Structure 1
Amino acid sequence: MSEERPEYPEYTVRALNGIPEVQPGDDLAKLIAAAGPDLADGDVLIVTSKIVSKAEGRIVRAADREAAIDAETVRVVARRGTLRIVENRQGLVMAAAGVDASNTPAGTVLLLPEDPDASARGIRAGLRDALGVTVGVVITDTFGRPWRSGLTDVAIGAAGVRVLDDLRGGTDAYGNPLSATVVATADELAAAGDLVKGKAAGRPVAVLRGLPHLVVPEAGEGAEEGEAGESDTGARALVRDPQDDMFRLGTSEAVREAMTRRRTVRAFADDPVDPGAVRRAVAAALTAPAPHHTTPWRFVLLESAESRVRLLDAMRDAWIADLRRDGRSEESIARRVRRGDVLRNAPYLIVPCLVMDGSHTYGDTRRDAAEREMFVVATGAGVQNLLVALAGERLGSAWVSSTMFCRDVVREVLDLPADWDPMGAVAVGRPAEEPRARPERDASAFVAVR
């Protein structure tokens, strides 16, 4: 029964006393109705998930809690020692997948409700049947939060509640447009309820009264029979979509994800490339190891179409001349040139170069060759950093060796110093399509242990 927001809203929140220890199979709505016979239309019930899990029989034998966490984990977000932050089967990102070894008999663990939104809908319907009231229900669990110390309760399930208050499109008190403000109302309700609840003291349910505008209609009151009321999206709406989640991974997991995403892209979309993203990737490249405390990397950024075409045309002409000297047929030459179009199709090019500033000269062929190899390896490490950082920016790339076969041409066209050695070219852009899955490789096949 939604109402207009009052001009000066105020609310009260109190814990319900008298709810017994919940057992598997118990009807939570009846237990809550018995403890709160004075519940009224527009109230919001804030229910600890632990009693929902117990009523739904989500108590399992588990001598090894870690194994139970593994079973409930879909994706590891971050790991530090034995602590794991994971995405669980309910789509929630939290510590230990929500598997709780407290408030449950020894030798057992408590799993979260299988479908918290469905559990909330069941409690709401049960209270309507028992007391004839239209209420909202929020099921809560305790979370830690990025950037903040301490724990708080948040909504993991909801029914009959506007879980998000979207203020975008409005204005603030000064007339400034609101373009990003979406309030997590259900989480605020969960935290308010937790101030008065006491899980260990037998008070697992709180009642918030005074904000009926947050309660959405029942079916038949503005909603089709059998469907949720208007704006009754459930707490699932609070889970951020992966593509919008800038903090989806922990530090080491993000590095591994970026390395996994680093794939050679052969086809690029026409979308322009953000020069700032490229410069951030170059900054990452400069953290690579190098011999003698040197900085052997230089990166030439071809941001204009004119500079890219001029370079690629000159390289193509040099390549064709080489192929003709090799005795290739014109048909074979044309085929090979077409295969080299990955650079021409990219909206951005980078030419990494090696400089030998700071290198040592020994006057010995073997040692001088090894000295250059050290610098070449360092340049490769810098380019790898660059490619991984580009992947972290959601940019595809392809590192090809073509500039190494016509270094004089590249230096002349790009007006580079004589001691800059082009080390291939990196095509950059948004991939035109998702790369095919990388085949799994057994790391042991590439390792020798002595």
Structure 2
Amino acid sequence: MTGSHRDAGYHVWAVAGLPEVRKGDDLARLIADAAPDLADGDVLLVTSKIVSKAEGRVVEAADREAAIDAETVRVVARRGPLRIVENRQGLVMAAAGVDASNTPSGTVLLLPEDPDASARSIRDGLRDALGVEVGVLVTDTFGRPWRTGLTDVAIGAAGVRVTDDLRGGQDAHGNPLTATVVATADELAAAGELVKGNTAGLPVAVVRGLPHLVTAQDGRGARELVREARDDMFRLGTSEAVREAVTGRRTVRSFTDEPVDPQAVRRAVAAAVTAPAPHHTTPWRFVLLESPESRTRLLDAMRDAWIADLRGDGKSEESIAKRIRRGDVLRNAPYLAVPCLVTDGAHTYGDARRDGAEREMFVVATGAGVQNFLVALSGERLGSAWVSSTMFCRDVVREVLDLPADWDPMGAVAIGHPAGEPRPRPERDADAFVEVR
């Protein structure tokens, strides 16, 4: 098979003659015996199954699901019995890479414990056996989001440029390349799969003609190809994303100076107004304070009103100063939102019990909207803190913000980019909050 890469021709072929690999076999020696003509600059593509067998990663498992559980670090998505998970190697794949094929009945085959170390070991062994400097990739078969079918990718690497970073260069038309990082190791792995095949019994392939991809040092390995969590926009499946958005929402009280994207807040408002509400009403209004002047004017007026209330309660000046400092989370935030309740469409019954219950329905609906808002902000990677203070001086807030008389401010939400990681959330036993009848 031929092709081109940077105007260089290359050849890919499968290595024939390898015996059945068993635990404890010297895989590098077996490959050297089957491919004694390996040359400097070749890239060796080794199917992970034979690496796992040589390393004794065949384990007894009457229940494959239990083996998958043991290898799973995080469930990414689940549909029926199928699970996409992050495994111990940091790879996101179906069934944690646990394989029940090509292994004796009652056993399963796990991925190599450290595929990069496996690649380094094979590379060192081939250097000792044949005196050659080759690159080594350990490969496995993956499915891909949004694409039908499987392909081989690199899960371990030694002596191979696993990525080709083209950022900073230009395309053929002179346009700057700002996001192009080529997954070279995966391209090589896929090329090898074309000649190895899943059923041909040819677990090793060689690519020759691309010596510029082979490096003197072992390098960082295929771990370089695993996208870090903070950069992964598609980290979760649907149900897991919803659950993570809710449980991952945290109160953030310290923010960086990085500006907040107003459109991100508006997207959060769009999520907020999907909350349930009584009588087909829309009881939510969000006042967005995007200028420092508007925030300062509101918070100064609220502070003055709060001080007056505290003095009326007989609090000492020291106590007042301490309480006022609690409002710093709003003052230090680069963006504020004031959610308001509007009871348009509320029914009037003429007795306190039913009229009180009617208002409570609208308050609950507003709370649901605020929760949607906070969760959506978290999804936008913005921190937030809901503070109830505007509820204690509604007339002041309405006056400063020039709001209609029937808008009831329901707290304020400080919004910004978190200045650090939040403290771990205390564990709560859900059963402690449940009564079954």
Give the TM-score range, shorter chain. over 0.9
Supply the distance in 1 between the matched residues of 2:197 and 2:143 (Cα, whole angstroms): 18
Q: How does 1:253-402 map to 2 (within 5 A)?
A: 253-402=240-389
Corresponding residue for residue 120 of structure 1: 119
2:57 pairs with 1:55:
no
1:291 offset after TM fit, Å?
0.9
* CA separation of 1:233 and 1:116: change in aligned 2, threshold 3 A: same
Corresponding residue for residue 35 of structure 2: 36
Corresponding residue for residue 427 of structure 1: 414
What's the CA shift string for 1:400-428, capped at 9, x where partnerless? 11111111111111011111111111111
Supply the distance in 2 between the matched residues of 1:88 and 1:10 (Cα, whole angstroms): 37
Corresponding residue SS for 2:8: coil
Corresponding residue for residue 208 of structure 2: 209
Corresponding residue for residue 168 of structure 2: 169
State TM-score, norm by structure 2: 0.96
Supply the distance in 2 between the matched residues of 1:379 and 1:39 (Cα, whole angstroms): 70
Amino acid at match of 1:298: R
Corresponding residue for residue 105 of structure 1: 104
Q: Any conservation in 2 of the 1:291–1:374 contact (CA below 8 Å)?
A: yes
Q: Any conservation in 2 of the 1:103–1:200 contact (CA below 8 Å)?
A: no
Supply the distance in 1 between the matched residues of 2:62 and 2:334 (Cα, whole angstroms): 56
Corresponding residue SS for 1:316: helix
What's the CA shift string for 1:319-355, capped at 9, x where partnerless? 2222222232333322222222221121111100011
Supply the distance in 2 between the matched residues of 1:133 and 1:269 (Cα, whole angstroms): 52
Supply the distance in 1 between the matched residues of 2:187 and 2:138 (Cα, whole angstroms): 12
1:202 offset after TM fit, Å?
1.9
C-alpha RMSD of matched pairs (Å)? 1.6
Corresponding residue for residue 436 of structure 1: 423
Supply the distance in 2 between the matched residues of 1:123 and 1:435 (Cα, whole angstroms): 43
Supply the distance in 2 between the matched residues of 1:432 and 1:161 (Cα, whole angstroms): 38
Supply the distance in 1 between the matched residues of 2:280 and 2:341 (Cα, whole angstroms): 15
What's the CA shift string for 1:48-93, capped at 9, x where partnerless? 1001100111000001111111111122222222222111111111
Supply the distance in 2 between the matched residues of 1:123 and 1:354 (Cα, whole angstroms): 67
Counting matched residue pairs gives 434
Corresponding residue SS for 1:139: strand
1:7 offset after TM fit, Å?
5.5
1:111 offset after TM fit, Å?
0.5
Supply the distance in 2 between the matched residues of 1:385 and 1:273 (Cα, whole angstroms): 18
What's the CA shift string for 1:296-339, capped at 9, x where partnerless? 10000001111011111111121222222223233332222222
Amino acid at match of 1:153: D
Amino acid at match of 1:242: A
Corresponding residue for residue 91 of structure 2: 92
Corresponding residue for residue 447 of structure 1: 434
Amino acid at match of 1:315: M
Corresponding residue SS for 2:329: coil
Unmatched runs of 5 consecutive residues or more in structure 1:
218-227
Amino acid at match of 1:85: I
* CA separation of 1:8 and 1:367: change in aligned 2, threshold 3 A: same
Q: Any conservation in 2 of the 1:77–1:85 contact (CA below 8 Å)?
A: yes
2:2 pairs with 1:16:
no
Amino acid at match of 2:407: W
Supply the distance in 2 between the matched residues of 1:58 and 1:195 (Cα, whole angstroms): 26
Q: Any conservation in 2 of the 1:18–1:202 contact (CA below 8 Å)?
A: no
Runs of 4 or more consecutive aligned structure 1 residues displaced over 3 Å after TM superposition? none
Q: Any conservation in 2 of the 1:62–1:109 contact (CA below 8 Å)?
A: yes
1:200 offset after TM fit, Å?
3.1
Amino acid at match of 1:390: L
1:243 offset after TM fit, Å?
1.9
What's the CA shift string for 1:367-387, capped at 9, x where partnerless? 221111111000000000111
Corresponding residue SS for 2:141: strand
Corresponding residue SS for 2:195: coil
Supply the distance in 1 between the matched residues of 2:403 and 2:42 (Cα, whole angstroms): 73
